[in-house]
Structure 1
Amino acid sequence: MNVRDAMLAKFQQRKSGYSLDREFYIDPDFYKQDMENIWYRDWLFVGHDCELPKAGSYITMQVGDYPVLVVRDGQKNIRAFHNSCRHRGSRICSAAKGTAAKLVCPYHQWTYELDGRLLFARDMGADFKPAEFGLKPIHCETVAGYIFVSLAEAPMNFQPVRAMVEPYLAPHRLTEAKVAFEMTIVENGNWKLTWENNRECYHCAGSHPELCRTYPEAPGATGVDAHDDPEIAEHWQRCEAAGLPSKFVMDQLGQFRTARMPLLRDAVSYTMSGKAAVSRPLSDTVLMPKIGTMLLFHYPSTWNHVLGDHAVSFRVLPKGPTETEVTTKWLVHKDAKEGVDYSLDEMTKVWIATNDQDRRIIEENQIGILSPAYRAGPYSAVHEGGVIQFVEWYCDFMARRLRGDRMPHLAEVA
């Protein structure tokens, strides 16, 4: 049986409400199918457009076998390209971020304009046509300060994503923010374990003492049943009365969603005290106190917390069957000054600790799954509704892709 048929058979035989079989977390061939059917075909979060403040600013990332380059061109548009020279394939930009007047391949100095056009290729002969050797473009979209790319030749329609998330993000004016700090960690676990751990707070009381000072363990805050929680419903009512879209919305495939959630008691930020980490608000237009955290999820590559004083974005990238890279960025108002308006230690302490705790959890989870004795186990319907939803999304999405089904139109939200 080939890998495609083996995966489809497991999807058909899988018991609902249970974790995935061992192969989904460890098998190189199953991992390759994940990459080809999800990561190489769907919209992926890259970073924030405030990271590209001027023409020539660029950021790079590696998606499986594909090096990706995102740059702001001379007309201030954000573009994405395959980070591979059209001469002999060398990577053009090796730094994670930087600024360049032109994009110059370090191997033989082929030189590209910021819009991808080939400008200079030395001694290539009279018949050489530079117009035929520009950088290969990648589909790129921006929404309210977030940059997404898709490696697919014909990507899924991005408009439903924009229509859903822009009203929630726009009041926070993240296009005018700046990244105050960022960090990248590598978790020795499958990318799906990273997401499963993120989608529940069943583990929080025993693992995250810093986060539990401000973030509720209530299943509705992390899962998909927020509508059943009266405290959350009251929070939505207050926020929406102040002009902030807040209610839980999700697309019909369950791939992306957003909602605004309350923090515990009088907390307004993810700090040890619960007080604001940044004295200058992230946005001058969001004046209501205690707005909680705006949660944004987009499978497979990002989850986010947007607060009144700062925002935190997380980017997930698989590096192998049992290795995942997680990049966290803290954003503040563009004019906020470190040491005056905020302390980096105070702002980052909770999530630095939580990230490391999650890394250890995921790595222990992966070690246990590597055992041939591992068998799929049941999720808690009370506490792990978000995990169930993620795994159901993964199974349904992959099965559709493996069968070659046409994806339904994504304009509707639930």
Structure 2
Amino acid sequence: MSTKSAVSNLVAQRKPDHALPGALYSDPDVYRQDLEQIWHKSWIFAGHTFELEKSGQYLSLQIGDYPVAIVRGADKQIRAFHNACRHRGSKVCPQASGKVAKLVCPYHKWTFELDGRLLFAGNMGEDFDKSQHGLKSVHCEVVETYIYVCVADVAPDFSSFRKSLTPFVAPHNLDDCKVAFESNIIEKGNWKLVFENNRECYHCDFTHPELMHSFVDNPSVGGAGGDEDLELKEHWDRCEAAGLPSRLVMDEDGRFRMTRIPLFSGAVSYTMDGKPAVAGRLDTTGEANIGALLYFNYPSTWNHFLGDHALSFRVLPIGPGETMVTTKWIVKKDAQEGVDYDIDRLTKVWLATNDQDRTLVEGAQVGVSSPAYEPGPLSVASEIGVCQFDDWYCKTMLEQLNDTIPLRSVG
């Protein structure tokens, strides 16, 4: 039996409305197929355009097997490249971020223009054609400062994701923002456990005391109630009257979703007292309490937008049982630390929440790796999001592994 067939059989063993079989979280062959069928074929969130404000600024990330660099060119355009020198493969952009005049390979000093063209390669002879050895391009799209890249030869459609996301995010004016703080943590758990943990708040009351000063898990947003939830409907009506799209939007396969939710008992931000963490606002609607805009896009990101700041989260797999989670706290560009915001107050809730989630994911990874583990039923009241994520994962993998339908486009 081929590896693809074996992994397909494992995926097909999942019972409806149950957690995934344990091997899907730990088996190296499953992880390899996760990379090949999902991570290497999807649009992956890389970072924000305001992190690359000047020509020569770059970000780098590892998407499965592929090191990728995103660079702001001299013409101000943002481009993505395979972060491998065309000589002997050394990383051209060795750091997670930086600023350079040219892209110079640290190994043998091959030098590339910011648009990827090879400018200099020493000792290569008169017949060497520089035009044939530029950096290889990676598909790159930008929507409301969000930079997405895809390492596939042919990228899936991006247009309907762009169309869905833009109205939700545009009022938050991210073009006029900056990263106030960044956190990178390594969770000793499979990337699917990380996302499953994010997609439910069944655990929140017992685990996230800081977050629960402001956040309220609303099952209606997951599909159990919707407009029948009066508080949610009133919140949507008020926000939309102010010009903030709020009602749930998701694609047919559930790969992405956007909606706006009210926060707990008058809270307007993720702080210990529910009051703003940052002076001033991102939006200009005049609506005092806009709650939180939540959006995710599988497999790599979830996001929160509040009145005073926003947070973006990026998930990247490192191995079968290891995942990097990057969190960025986003504030207005002219906001001054120590004047308009205090870093500890701004970051306290989600630094604590991320660490608590890391502990949960790592405990789950140990449990699902046990030969005695048997997947249990998911709560129809509290784990709708987990079920939806697992449904998406299984459907996507089965389609890809069995070569029945191309990977669904992001939109």
Please classify the TM superposition score into its range, dividing by the shorter chain length.
over 0.9
Between the aligned partners of 1:71 and 1:209, the Cα distance in structure 2 is 40
Q: Please give the secondary structure, in 2, of the residue aligned with 1:353.
A: helix
Cα displacement string for residues 268-292 of structure 1 (whole angstroms, at most 9, x for unaligned residues): 0000000000012123x23211101
TM-score (norm 2): 0.97
Unmatched 5+ residue regions in structure 1? none
Task: Tell me which residue corresponds to 1:194.
Answer: 194
TM-score with structure 1 setting the length: 0.97
Give the aligned partner of residue 131 of structure 1.
Answer: 131
The aligned counterpart of 1:369 is 368
SS at match of 1:372: coil
Question: Structure 1 residue 353 and structure 2 residue 385: aligned?
Answer: no
Aligned residue pairs: how many? 410
Give 2:261's aligned amino acid. Answer: M
Give the corresponding residue for 2:35: 35
| Aligned equivalents of 2:340, 2:23: Cα separation in 1 | 49
Query: Structure 1 residue 234: deviation in Å?
Result: 1.2
What letter corresponds to residue 250 of structure 1 in structure 2?
A: M
- Residue 226 of structure 1 deviates from its aligned partner by 5.5
User: Aligned AA for 1:101?
Assistant: A
- Secondary structure of 1:279's aligned partner: coil
Which segment is superposed worse, 165-174 or 227-236? 227-236
CA RMSD of superposed structures (Å): 1.3
Tell me what 1:399 maps to.
398
Instruction: Return the alpha-carbon distance in structure 2 between the equivalents of residues 7 and 280 of structure 1.
Output: 51
| 1:203 alignment partner in structure 2 | 203
Question: Equivalent residues in 2 for 1:48-127 (5 A)?
Answer: 48-127=48-127
For 2:181, the equivalent position in structure 1 comes to 181
Q: Aligned with 2:358: secondary structure?
A: helix
In the alignment, is the contact (CA less than 8 A) between 1:214 and 1:271 conserved in 2?
yes
| Alpha-carbon shift at residue 408 of structure 1 (Å) | 7.9
Q: Which residue of 2 aligns with 1:161?
A: 161
| Contact 2:59/2:98 (<8 A) preserved | yes
Deviations 1:152-207 (CA, angstroms, capped at 9, x unpaired): 11011000110000110111111220000001000000000001100000000000
d(CA) in 2 for partners of 1:229, 1:77: 45
Report the counterpart of residue 234 of structure 1 in structure 2.
234
Listed one character per residue, the Cα deviations across residues 79-137 of structure 1 (whole Å, up to 9, x for unaligned) are 00011000111111111111111000011111000000001111211110000000000
Query: Contact (CA 8 Å) 1:286, 1:308: kept in 2 or not?
Result: no
3-state SS of the aligned residue for 1:206?
helix
Residue type of the alignment partner of 1:297: F
Give SS of 1:275's match. coil
Structure 2 counterparts to residues 14-25 of structure 1, below 5 A: 14-25=14-25
Q: Distance in 1 between matches of 2:383 and 2:277?
A: 30
Q: Distance in 2 between matches of 1:194 and 1:32?
A: 18
Does structure 2 conserve the Cα–Cα contact (< 8 Å) formed by 1:200 and 1:219?
A: no
Q: Percent identity?
A: 55
Say if 1:252 and 1:410, in contact at 8 Å, map to a contact too.
Answer: no
The 10-residue stretch of structure 1 (114-123 or 211-220) with the greater mean CA deviation from structure 2: 211-220
Identify which range, 273-282 or 5-14, moves more after superposition: 5-14
Aligned to 1:7: 7
